[in-house]
Structure 1
Amino acid sequence: MASSTETASQPERPPRPNLAFRQLRGSRSPAEFAALVRRAAREIGERVSCDARYVGRVEAGEIRCPNYAYERVFMHMFPGRTLTDLGFAPRSSVRGRAARAIPDADPALTAGAPPGEPPVESPGAFEPYDTHENDQLNHEESDVLRRAFMTGGGATVAAATLGPLRPTTDATAAVRPPRRPGTPEAAALEEAVRRIRLLDDRHGADGLYRRAAAPLRAAYALLDAGATRQTTADRLHAGAGELAISVGWLAHDSGRYDDARSHYAEALATARMTGDPGLEAHAFCNTAFLARDAGRPREAVRAAQAAQRAARPLGSARLMSLLALREAGGWAGLADRTGCEQALVRAQALFERGRSEADPEWMSFYGEAELEGLEAQCWSTLGDWRRASRHARRAAHLQDPHFTRNIALYTAELADDLAREGRPDEAAAAGLRVLALLDQVQSSRIQSMLAGTARVLLPHRRASGVSDFLERHASTPRTARA
């Protein structure tokens, strides 16, 4: 008999059918509609395992709110509509729902939320790529993914632990999981990587870096605990490596180059230990970018070439295109115009081959806008300001509004190129557009670019709009490193 202090569990309400989503499917079969979803996902660089069963679950109301990957796909398929327009519950309405009980669940699964911040359930939040794992994950995901982020400062930031791991405020404390990790922990790790990337796309790195260290420590604790199955161990190693790269990028973009180098080296070591060419290519790709920014152009060239050797068997033309651009940036830093131009031509030709199933998930940011933006940086480094500004303008125009940080970055690049080209009024106008975005984006890189532009524009204070830009720039607070 239950004690009087216990509350009787309430039966769950039967799901309400999602009639709006069913109407969008129209006369197509669930399988046909699922194929459209997968095709739309490929168009924006997402990977979802949508099938007829998933469509049926959505229409039956079993999935109240989709995960972030599906949300981006649905927003691409039905532009201008919100989740509620598609028949889903607002994401805020599913925050804090009590987690479903798991037999023999460790108490740490439902503990650890900070005061005033209830655990988060994400019903239907993680749809695995291996569809045979659906049933198990649907049962366990709400506890494993109960919370990955919290709000702080001016932007949403990464905060919590992965799966059953308790948060720690001691950066040196060992984080030890209470049991050997399995599929749910691997899924949680992969979702943490996606969410960090999503937040960086929107807000930049400065407010995220320190908070992302806890999930990274937790990821390596999972590796130390050891998985029971080799397939799970492979997923954990790949996820930990990708998370190290993501955290390294946050350090890179916020000006912490030594930290970034360490994280990228950690990811590269993980790739080499496990024989993962995709992770190795990614680690070398980011190492090349860091070397370019840190003033080591020859290292940038060598790292980009190493990345291409690792990536060649993967069969992704888009990945090879990005790596050619990384090499071009190194050649530009060496003032080798011929080498840079040859790499740019190669990058463009590979890009035009289009997307494929072999493209890595992390490359969702790499579209025409990023191609233009990276080429603009090459011409800027070579001192060809006219070409640089032309490509930077195209990059800012082409960028998907979701990537707020990149819009600010490309526009800052445009402002600097225009200033150095001798077009101060246009440069000031572009600079003002960037300043208007800084309440959403925290990036030391962008702030440094604007500071350089302001120095170039100082002698042109009397030109139209320049004084306004200089005054607003001087009064804009600089983001403190978190």
Structure 2
Amino acid sequence: MGATRNAALEAWMTEHGHSANSLADVANRAVEQLTGRTGGYDGSSVRAWKSGRVRWPNEVTRKALEIVTGLPATELGFVPRGRAQSTPAPQQEDDMKRRTLVGGIAVAAAAAAAPGTAPRRIGMSDVDRLQARFTEIIASDHKRGGQPDIEQRAAALADEALNLQRAGSATQRVRSNLYAAAAAFRSSAMWAAIDGRRYDDAQRHMREAQALAEMSGDQAIKFRIWSHAGSMYRHMGRPADAFAANDVARNLHITRRDPMFASLGLARQAAIHGAAQDRNGTRRAFDQAQDAMDRAAPDAYRPVWLLAFYDEAELHSLALSAYLALGDYPTAEAHAHRCLSSLRPHMVRSRAITQTRLAHAQLAQGDADAAINTAMTVPATAATQHARVSRMLQEFGAALRATAPGSSTAHTWTEHTAAWRTSA
């Protein structure tokens, strides 16, 4: 009888955007904190865990994975020798454990900083626990992007990372990683504010994130912050500032080391060209972004935030935004369909945005029936609670009433939006 695949570990990796190589990398760092020596895991090690060939890893491996995930080995689908496969714990219990984990970090920091107590040693295990919280912020963003509670949680975790800096002694490597974690959380708060159209808050988070990233020296998080800044200025209707910010991201060394970063920078450059009404620039940047993505090594180590969202679907989403801004509606529609066909299931927010933009492209081509059918697939929660989606749907309704006033199509849309407001 063949080995049973470890569905729990696979689900955790999918939810948190880990490839086999990236999970091996963070597990190796956790082993270093436990033993003083870097672990020897690679992608094949993780594939052995996923396939069920290794049902109960050794103690060091189990402890390393617990540091990385915040979960005991049994909840990651591993089965102790001589014991039958256990029933997974309820989701409520998982949530409680994660809340306990984050609370424990805060309590430990406060205790270490309290007068009269000896400072404790802060290590990479503390950083790894924070990183586990970061993956939860990323997951929340892709499900319910733009919500104030996501922004607040991310900002609070940034402060928690900084509190650890003051809670005890640490090596320079650990301190740099804590600054990088704080910058990552602050950049997520920034993105949540951008996505919710709270631009003053976004700029405040941006300034703090940039300072933290400089102290960390982390190229990937610097890229994320400046790339977010380019998107923010594009949404604010300031293409010159958007180009300047995105150029900072694109000129970082990491874009030369990893074509996937170069691809994202170019894809966002294409969207800015679209907002600036530069058709040739849009086409050129999009083609370069596609070429860079094609050259990127599929299993290279990349941060969780990049793995979780940037792929072929996001590339076409940015092209859709660009061509919609240019008024090239057939091309925009083609990119929308390519995006929707390859979106991963966890990209709930991105799907709603793409459906809304597709509806605009179809309406602008005179196909009102197809347009409202597309718009009606947007979930009520996104339609009423996501600031960007809500605004685009309001603009869609206004355009529909302008092109087909008093029509049955317009009446159908009015009734549907009323039902949305009732159910939200």
Mark the CA change 1:314 to 1:360 in structure 2 (over 3 Å): closer, same or farther.
Answer: farther
The one-letter code sitting in structure 1 at the alignment partner of 2:417 is: H
Task: Give the alignment partner of residue 377 of structure 1, picking from 316, 321, 344.
Answer: 321
Paired residues, what number? 377
Q: Partners in 2 of 1:284 and 1:60 — Cα distance?
A: 43
Q: Is the counterpart of residue 351 in structure 1 residue 349 in structure 2?
A: no
2:100 corresponds, among 146, 168, 173, to: 146
Secondary structure of the residue aligned to 1:378 is: helix
C-alpha separation in 2, matches of 1:184 and 1:69: 8
Matched, 1:218 2:193: no
2:192 to 242, 250, 264: 250
CA distance in 2, matches of 1:67, 1:462: 61
C-alpha change, 1:353 and 1:242, in structure 2 (3 Å) is same
SS in 1 for 2:170: coil
Match of 1:120 among 86, 96, 105: 96
1:110-150 CA-to-partner distances (Å, cap 9, x unmatched) read xxxxxxxxx9336xxxxxxxxxxxxxxxxxxxxxx7245xx
**CA positional deviation for 1:255:** 1.3
**Contact between 2:317 and 2:335, CA under 8 Å: does it hold in 1?**
yes
- C-alpha distance in structure 2 between counterparts of 1:352 and 1:279, whole Å: 23
**Distance in 1 between residues matched to 2:17 and 2:106, nearest whole Å:** 32
Structure 1 residues 241 and 314: alpha-carbon distance in aligned structure 2, compared to 1, 3 A threshold: farther
The percentage of counterpart residues that share the same residue type is 25
**Which residue of the partner structure matches residue 319 of structure 1?**
261
Contact 2:13 2:19 in 1 (8 A): no
Deviation at 1:469, TM superposition (A): 2.4
Amino acid paired to 1:403: M
Give the structure 2 partner of residue 423 of structure 1. Answer: 367
Which residue, 334, 347, 354 being the options, matches 1:410?
354
2:5 corresponds to which residue? 24
Q: TM-score scaled to structure 1, two decimals?
A: 0.68
Task: Identify if the C-alpha distance between structure 1 residues 428 and 211 changes in structure 2 by more than 3 Å, giving closer, same or farther.
Answer: same
Which one of 235, 248, 251 corresponds to residue 309 of structure 1? 251
Find the aligned partners of 1:42 and 1:198 in 2 and give their Cα distance.
9
Query: 1:24-103 maps to which residues of 2 (within 5 A)?
Result: 24=5, 47-49=22-24, 51=41, 52=45, 55=49, 59-60=55-56, 87=85, 89-92=87-90, 95=93
CA displacement at 1:359 relative to structure 2: 3.1
Give the 3-state SS of the residue equivalent to 1:429 in structure 2: helix
The aligned counterpart of 1:338 is 280
**2:400 maps to 1:457:** yes
1:187 aligns with 2:89: no
Aligned equivalents of 1:205 and 1:162: distance in 2? Answer: 27
Shift of 1:451: 1.1
Q: CA deviation at 1:248?
A: 0.9
1:211-235 deviations in Å (ceiling 9; x for gaps): 4332222222223446411221121
> Which residue is 1:78 aligned to?
none
3-state secondary structure, aligned to 1:121 = helix
SS at match of 1:310: coil
Deviation at 1:93, TM superposition (A): 6.5
Aligned equivalents of 1:176, 1:252: Cα separation in 2: 35
Q: Over aligned residue pairs, what C-alpha RMSD do you find?
A: 4.1
- Cα distance 1:291–1:434, how it changes in 2: closer, same or farther (>3 A)? same
> Aligned partners of 2:67 and 2:421: how far apart in 1?
32
Query: Cα–Cα, structure 1 residues 239 and 162, in superposed 2: closer, same or farther, change >3 Å?
Result: farther
2:100 partner SS: coil
Q: Deviations over 1:71-122 (max 9, x none)?
A: 9xxxxxxxxxx979994643427828xxxxxxxxxxxxxxxxxxxxxx9336
**Using a 3 Å threshold, how does the CA distance of structure 1 residues 88 and 68 change in structure 2: closer, same or farther?**
farther
Change (3 A) 1:356 1:423: same
Cα offsets for 1:25-58 (capped at 9, x unmatched): 8xxxxxxxx9xx999x999698212745983997
Q: 1:91 to 1:196 in 2, by over 3 A?
A: farther
Instruction: Output the amino acid matched with 1:410.
Output: T
Q: Distance in 1 between matches of 2:326 and 2:22?
A: 37
Letter in 2 for 1:24: R
Q: Which residue of 1 aligns with 2:35?
A: none
Q: What is the aligned partner in structure 1 of residue 344 from structure 2?
A: 400
Q: Please give the secondary structure, in 2, of the residue aligned with 1:163.
A: helix
Partner of 1:286: 228
Q: Separation in 2 of the partners of 1:290 and 1:243?
A: 17
Pairing partner for 1:470 from 405, 411, 414: 414
TM-score, with length taken from structure 2: 0.76
* Contact preservation (8 Å) 1:45, 1:363: no
Q: Relative to 1, partners in 2 of residues 1:313 and 1:227: Cα closer, same or farther, differing over 3 Å? A: farther
**Bigger relative CO (Cα 8 Å, ≥ 6 apart):** 2
Partner of 2:33: none
| Segments ≥4 residues shifted beyond 6 Å | 61-64, 66-71, 82-86
